[in-house]
Structures are given as structure tokens and as C-alpha cells.
Amino acid sequence: MNDNNKSELILNLDKLHTTDLGIERIKRNLCLDLDDVVSWCRNKIKEPTSSITRRGKNWYIGAADCKITVNAYSYTIITAHKLKNK
């Protein structure tokens, strides 16, 4: 993991946002019953156990139970998925 990428995302969490369709997609994929999915994702990203990697134009955040994809240039949350139990 590159700490520069991780700190860049952490320092810009206030820019994190998503679209209306993104909100619906994230809520559906994660079975969330809440209105503020951006805050939910922000909290997952800030967890000390979360891993953040950047590949190309996206950041991939692995939290305990989900994976979040964020565009590295616009800070748009693209999608989030539950992790499958191994």
C-alpha cells in the first residue's frame, strides 16, 4: 500500500460525494437503510483497519465487510459491494 495515496484520499474526505443513482446503487448493494450513504462510506474509509489502494483512476477501499470504489480525480463514490465470505 502506498501511504501517499492513502493520505491523499484521507485528506480529501470532505470532497467525497456521489450521484443520486450512486446513492441508490450503494444502498441496494450493501442493503443499507439510511439516507446519508456518503457519511457511511466516509466512516468506513476512515476506519484504521481499512486498506486503500489506487489503481489507475480509482481508489479501492477494503473495509471489514465491503469494498468501496472512489474516482481518484473527482472523489465520486462509484459503487460499493459486500465482500463475499470465504
Domain boundaries along the sequence of the chain: 3-82
Q: What pLDDT shows up at residue 3?
A: 60
Q: What is the pLDDT of residue 1?
A: 44
In whole angstroms, what is the distance from residue 15 CA to residue 20 CA? 16
Give the chain as a 3 state SS string.
CCHHHHHHHHHCHHHCECCHHHHHHHHHHHCCCCCCHHHHHHHHHHCCCCEEEEECCEEEEECCCEEEEEECCCCEEEEEEECCCC
Tens digit of pLDDT per residue, the chain (86 long)?
456 656 789 999 999 999 999 999 999 999 999 989 999 999 999 999 999 999 999 999 999 889 999 999 999 999 999 988 64
The per-residue pLDDT for 57 is 96
pLDDT at 5: 59
The model's pTM is 0.89
